[in-house]
Amino acid sequence: MSELVKSIQENVVFFLQFMAVVAAIFIVAYVVEKLVAKKQAVTERILTTRKIAVIGMFSAIAAILMLLEFPTPIAPSFYGMDFSELPALVGAFAYGPVAGVMIEFCKIILKLLFKPTSTAFVGELSNFAVGCSFILPASIIYSLHKNKKTAIVSCVVATLCMTVFGTAFNAVYLLPKFAQMYGMHMKDLIGMDDVVPFVCFAVAPHNLIKGGSVSLITLLIYKKLSPILKKTNQA
């Protein structure tokens, strides 16, 4: 009974930590977007009815892409590759950081409706936090000056941010937490006792490939989608 109570307590604490991360990221996105809007003398509301509708559509697409993950030879099977950040980045470019974060969060909720967690929500937290470490820098930089050159710079910076943050976040928090919640030794989880070499040679390249791929696709399709999204924004 005591083990059950302890397990419940740990899961509740983890859930509260998860929600704290979500709240903190939303606050950062909102404050930054407000500051950029003030600097550019933009008076439009951050969220309009039409924006919310598009965010919902992009969230559904992102959730489907998240379900279509596939393994990569450079990382263990629990590090699946997916392109769910693609709709989030397109949405963030079009409507700002808050929209990007909303898409990231809503896709997690929708994904859980289709497929319950198999990692005690550790995988979902990782996907959201690491995804936002990519979406936020890209959308903030791009919102300051919207042109092709800035888009390229924002994608490069965002990919590097996601790689550094994702690597550190896995080493310091996620992998130890995953091992703790499942009662596993680190060696049983990743095949070695030292987590640093693992994240450097598996997690970092994984995030570089993912960020680079999503960035490339976004740069190729955004110009064609932008007029449609701008019309939606103005309607």
Answer for the pair 218, 89: CB distance below 8 angstroms, yes or no: yes
Answer for the pair 203, 170: CB distance below 8 angstroms, yes or no: yes
Query: Could you tell me the CA-to-CA distances from 184 to 27, 119, 126, 152, 171 in Å, in that order?
Result: 35, 13, 19, 42, 15
96: left (phi over 0), alpha (psi -120 to 50) or beta: left
Is residue 114 over pLDDT 90?
Answer: no
pLDDT band for position 117 (cuts 50, 70, 90): confident
**pLDDT tens profile 124-161:** 888 899 999 999 999 999 999 889 999 999 999 999 99
Spatial CB neighbours of 222, under 8 Å, sequence gap ≥ 6: 90, 93, 151
Q: pTM, whole model, 2 decimals? A: 0.89
Cα–Cα distance between 2 and 8 in angstroms, integer? 10
What is the DSSP secondary-structure string of 140-189? HHHHHS-SHHHHHHHHHHHHHHHHHHHHHHIIIIIHHHHHHHTT--HHHH
Partners of 81 in beta bridges: 70
What is the DSSP secondary-structure string of 198-217? HIIIIIHHHHHHHHHHHHHH
Which DSSP state fits 78?
T
CA-closest candidate to residue 83, choices 211, 225, 174, 208 = 211
**pLDDT tens profile 166-199:** 999 988 888 887 777 777 787 777 777 788 888 8
Partners of 70 in beta bridges: 81
**What is the distance, to the nearest Å, from the Cα of residue 142 to the centroid of all Cα atoms in its chain?**
17
